[in-house]
Chains A and B, each alone.
Chain A
Amino acid sequence: MSTVLHGLVGQLGQVGLDYSFLFDAYASSKLLEGALTTVWLCLFSMVGSLLVGMVLAAALTSGRYWLAWPARAFVEVTRNTPTLVQLYCAFLVLNMLINQSLGNANPMTPFAWVVLVISLHKGAFHAEALRAGIEAVPAVTLEAASSLALSRRQQLLQVQLPLALRFALPALVNNLIDLVKMTAVASAIAVNDITYASIMIWTQGDNVIELMILILAFYGLLSFGVNCMGRVLEARLRMPGYGH
């Protein structure tokens, strides 16, 4: 492994890209730690955003005014403001207010704020994708379900959502790929993700280009992985004779 890496760095050195910082214990451990943090950020906020999306979509399509209206307001506000601004607002303003009232008992870490903000932000997009899916479920299917004496909740969980998920899956995967790239905002509030680790290394040295290429490749691979998972899921959930 190490000889392969040395060989690769040697090759890149010949085209003028100096990756020798990868052998520096401090820089490489920083980068590895950053890469791992980015992966955790992605996993937590993926799960979080899907949960938020599900709840919001349920509220949006509930047909109850007092549920649908606040959900609609939340989706509009969240979708129409930049993630970075939301993160600053949450971490620099809300966090300060929580600190002032709770003192040191504040349970929110910067990492948790990033997961929360991305989950809520992407959750709003998921909700719209799921709503499209839910509304695409034919009315006759629902009539059939209610004729079987399924309650409203059973209809949603056992008929509507499974079908809606299949309709919405391509849009959801699209959102999740965007989510992977969105985790880079964590660097703005000093969460040690891979972008932050790279900034910290390149502000001390002269390797912006090398690090840029490295993190582009890393995010590219991560997004590609999500894309592949989405494809597998689509194939898995495919219903013969239904839409395909």
Chain B
Amino acid sequence: MTLFTVARRGLFVSVLATATLAASGLAQADATLDKIEQRHRLAVGVVLSGGPFGAIDPATREPIGFSVDLARDLARQLGVAVDLVAVQPANRVQFLQQGKVDLLIANMEWTPERDKLLGHVPTPFYRVGGTAALAKDSPIKTWAELKGQPVCTSQGSSYTQALVDLGADLKAFKTSAESLLALRGNSCVAAVHDATLINPLLAKGGEWSGYRALAPELNPAPSVIWTRRGESDTQQRLDPFVKQWHRSGWLIEREQANHITPASPALVELRAKLQGEGA
């Protein structure tokens, strides 16, 4: 064996080693996880349209709410700073796909259509269904009776397909605020949004005392943390955090702290299930 071949073999080995290292480096983290760790910042898209899930505190001008608590805790556990980006139902998917945010915790439930576009952290953190706010004296008692009736909702709502299937005459406004105003202006017979948005409003009474909610919930679906498609490393990294949130009862505590009523039975179920699986 000549010196030359030895050197060549050495070179080959080192190239191979570098290649494997690089490959393992790639396998270590997908683009988003790399980006988060390099910048030491986590950009999370949240909906701050008011209500217990996300709002701006009128006193401090800081974002508050259930989604905001989750985003802050994820960043804390990752040891990075958090950038909260206000998104709207109509543009949140674009914010995520264009990389303006790393994750969405944006009142966005799992649906088969969204599952084709995006990826998500496997364990859901909540479960939300839709409900309709109706005038107390409205004759409508079931979802099927909404057929052919003007129904307000927001653009990008999770219930669009379900309402189209029901045969409702859908009127989708820019945000839920305009949709609810339109309901009060009698432009539609019902406004369909997340139960977590409608129920606290109706419970508050006041200007909403003339309205009631329609049961049972429409299309209850798990709320998940959305990532871009195929970012399995980010998902795997975050999944234990979500599981721990359930096991420790932290989510139930946050639900109470943010005054989300009625309390979600899904949180209790998920807690029992995950505690059963054991840590």
Listed in ascending order, the chain A residues whose CB lies under 8 Å from chain B are: 88, 91-92, 95-96, 99, 104, 106, 110, 188-190, 196, 199-200, 203-206, 208
Contact = CB atoms under 8 A, between A and B. Distances in A.
Given A95-B187, A190-B171, A200-B155, 20 more contacts: A91-B185, A92-B181, A92-B182, A92-B185, A96-B185, A96-B186, A99-B185, A106-B186, A188-B173, A188-B174, A196-B172, A200-B160, A200-B172, A203-B93, A203-B156, A204-B160, A205-B113, A206-B116, A206-B117, A208-B94
B18 to A, nearest CB: 34
Nearest to B152: A190
A203 B155 contact: yes
Contacts of A204: 113, 160-161
B190 to A, nearest CB: 14
Interface in B180-217: 181-182, 184-187
A86 to B, nearest CB: 15
Contacts of A99: 185-187
B185 A95 contact: yes
23 contacts: A91-B187, A92-B181, A92-B182, A99-B185, A99-B186, A104-B186, A110-B171, A188-B178, A189-B182, A190-B171, A190-B172, A196-B172, A199-B90, A199-B155, A199-B172, A200-B160, A200-B172, A203-B156, A204-B113, A204-B160, A204-B161, A206-B116, A206-B117
Closest 6 CB pairs of A and B: A96-B185, A190-B171, A203-B156, A99-B186, A92-B181, A206-B117
A203 B90 contact: yes
Residue among A188, A196, A204, A205 with max Cβ neighbours from chain B (10 Å): A204
A199 B173 CA distance: 10
B159 to A, nearest CB: 11
A28 B160 CA distance: 17
B89 interface: yes
A96 B184 contact: yes
Nearest to A26: B164
A205 B174 CA distance: 17
A97 to B, nearest CB: 9
